[in-house]
Amino acid sequence: MKPQLSTDATPLDTLKQYWGYDRFRPMQEEVINSLLEGHDTLALMPTGGGKSITYQVPALMCEGVALVISPLVALMKDQVDGLRKHGIRAGYLHSGQSRGEMLAVLDNCTFGYYKLLYVSPERLTNALFLRRLESIPISFVAVDEAHCISQWGYDFRPHYTRIKEFRQRIPHLPFLALTATATSLVVEDIKRQLLFEEGSRFFKKSFHRRALTYVVRQTEDKARELVHILSSVEGSALVYVRSRKKTKQISDLLNSFGLSSDYFHALLPPEVKARKQNAWQSGEVRIMVCTNAFGMGINKEDVRVVVHPAPPPSPEFYYQEAGRAGRDNQRAFAVLLYEPIRDERYLWNMLDREFPPEETVKQVYDTLGNYFQLGVESGEGAIYEFDLFHFCTQYKIPSHVVTASLAILQLSGYMEYLENHDKAGQLMITTDRNQLYTLFDEKESLYDDLLEFLMRRYTGLFTAYSAIDEREIASALGIRREQLYFLLINLKRWHVIDYIPGKISDYIYYMDQRVPAKQLVIPKEIYQSRYNAARERVEAMEQYMTTSDCCRAMQLVSYFDETNPLPCGYCDYCLSHPPKGLSYKVIDEIEDYLKAEGTTSHEQLHNQFPQLSPDELQSAIEHLQGEYHTIVVKGSTITYL
């Protein structure tokens, strides 16, 4: 069903009004029109291709609220902050918000204040959210990072599979799925998982990154090579590593050589993450050494180099991370440091860590049951607080084996591993109600305010423990959470209340009753088929790293099933083996010539580039006209825009 429009403005009018751009990037307008016509739409647009515009523009044109499903809180926050800077009203929901904050966001949607609402896939099973959603006019649903729904993809996230069930609640609304990296197999799986209807549209932009020079540098001294590269290439830089420990180690190394650097990983406190990100984006810090927790959704166009000191586990990861360089269409570099034998072994070890033997998975399952003292044929629906470090220490099992086994058990439907889950605090008032108001004088009125709010907000506090929301309480009193904690601890010390602070913990949720380990069944599609797909990704990454007889860019785009790719003319292979005939470097030279001339003819262009055949010259013109959108052709006249 077509979304109902609320304006006569065209997509381009809306783009100009809110973003100030005079034209769309390639493919954006086609995707927007497909969605506005009511078609389920899948768009494959490489990193930096402007995916978010394809749902933000139609959201402003349609009645109601566009629902955007996104995997990361940081990504949602960045998007909402960016929209608000353009005067666009948007909100987001995440598990760290209090009930009051969540209800305020949903109220803003119900009463038409927000035009876009960002949610995580986990939110789609929340009963309160689903109940309130019935009163919110949804215009369409956009699924960002849609490859996360496919178990054949490189970044499968089980929570994304909940979107399929959610869609059955709203079958009349069109869905827009967006991803930067997907093979043909993953594309078809996305359509199937999202229940795309007949007549759905698929748009695919070339995976070629015109400003990016790919380099594989063989070395046995990666630290020295890394310092050399970052000293030679000026401008903002990213260094991607696969472990949190390495981020600080490498950042310290770079700083010791006078290179402005900082580090970033997922377990840093939110305020520290924000400070580091802002320092890098503003240019105060030049180099960020990070895990893949950094970069998604960050729009910094002037990154000049991305370095990988070790290979990522798949071409998808590499393409995504490398693609954060050169978004301003100025020359940038993606460099992979490669140490023969050692790096091949590293790649295969990563695969083994992700897929421990099935017998090991069964052993971990059985050991968890013993750890929680859970009997066989019991435990369905049970939830247990889980200390990974304590468990691994007690049973002498490496942590990576446990986390990998838990992922497989979760996909198999036995249990769910809830990481960094916010557990509510518990509170009971232990003083007689009549004595409460005589305990504090005017100088301590904040205690009175706190107790009054608690009694007004929560019932039964004098007879039983009640779960409280520390964030909501602190917000209502206008104080920091640390300040609230101080007040509550004092009240407990004075025997006014009993208080168990909330904390962030990991939990294990049993989705089914415990079964004997011998009866545990791991479906083939969960283990063997996914292992085979991951093995193919490792083989492709190994081939990219070790091959020295092919253009690097051609290797990458061929992996994503792009047919008849051109050599780039810039990578380390092309520089040592200059391609004959047409290449992207020659297309850039043609564009530079047209830019200088303004207007020319086919004949003049052929005279300027005699090494090209008529077919090659025509192909170059089609690239500039279609993919780059930088020229207009009328008859035999070519005009640079």
Whether residue 5 lies inside any domain: the answer is no
Within this chain, do residues 332 and 397 fall inside the same structural domain, yes or no? Answer: no
Within this chain, do residues 328 and 404 fall inside the same structural domain, yes or no? Answer: no
Whether residue 485 lies inside any domain: the answer is yes
Within this chain, do residues 325 and 454 fall inside the same structural domain, yes or no? Answer: no
pLDDT category of residue 97 using cuts at 50, 70 and 90:
low
Whether residue 4 lies inside any domain: the answer is no
How many Cβ atoms from other residues are within 10 Å of residue 5's Cβ? 13
pLDDT per position as a tens digit, 262-272: 999 987 877 78
Which residue, among 83, 60, 85, 53, has the nearest Cα to 8 in the 3D structure? 60
Within this chain, do residues 334 and 250 fall inside the same structural domain, yes or no? Answer: yes
CATH number at residue 511: 1.10.10.10
Within this chain, do residues 143 and 193 fall inside the same structural domain, yes or no? Answer: yes
Within this chain, do residues 193 and 221 fall inside the same structural domain, yes or no? Answer: no
Within this chain, do residues 130 and 39 fall inside the same structural domain, yes or no? Answer: yes
Q: Indicate whether 311 pLDDT > 90.
A: yes
Within this chain, do residues 47 and 132 fall inside the same structural domain, yes or no? Answer: yes
CATH number at residue 562: 3.40.50.300
Question: Of 455, 486, 501, which residue is a domain's last?
Answer: 501
The pairing of beta strand 415-423 with beta strand 503-510: antiparallel
Domain of residue 366, residue span: 356-423+506-526
pLDDT category of residue 432 using cuts at 50, 70 and 90:
confident
**Rounded to an integer, what distance in angstroms lies between the CA atom of residue 175 and that of residue 160?**
14
Q: What is residue 436's DSSP assignment? A: H
Exposed e or buried b per residue across 559-587, where buried means at least 16 C-beta atoms within 10 angstroms of its C-beta = bbeeeebbbbbbbbbbeeeebeebbbbbb
Q: Indicate whether 610 pLDDT > 60.
A: yes
Whether residue 148 lies inside any domain: the answer is yes
Within this chain, do residues 418 and 430 fall inside the same structural domain, yes or no? Answer: no
pLDDT attached to residue 211 = 93
Whether pTM exceeds 0.85: no
Within this chain, do residues 401 and 478 fall inside the same structural domain, yes or no? Answer: no
Q: Indicate whether 32 pLDDT > 70.
A: yes
Whether residue 402 lies inside any domain: the answer is yes
pLDDT attached to residue 463 = 85
CATH number at residue 632: 1.10.10
Phi/psi for 616 (5° steps) reads: -65, -40
Q: For every residue of 438-499, which 3-state class applies, written as one string?
A: CCCCHHHHHHHHHHHHHHHHCCCCCCCCEEECHHHHHHHHCCCHHHHHHHHHHHHHCCCEEE
Which has more pLDDT, 513 or 502?
513
**Rounded to an integer, what distance in angstroms lies between the CA atom of residue 479 and that of residue 450?**
11
Q: Indicate whether 503 pLDDT > 90.
A: no
Number of domains observed in the structure of the chain = 5
The pairing of beta strand 415-423 with beta strand 90-93: unpaired
Within this chain, do residues 558 and 606 fall inside the same structural domain, yes or no? Answer: no
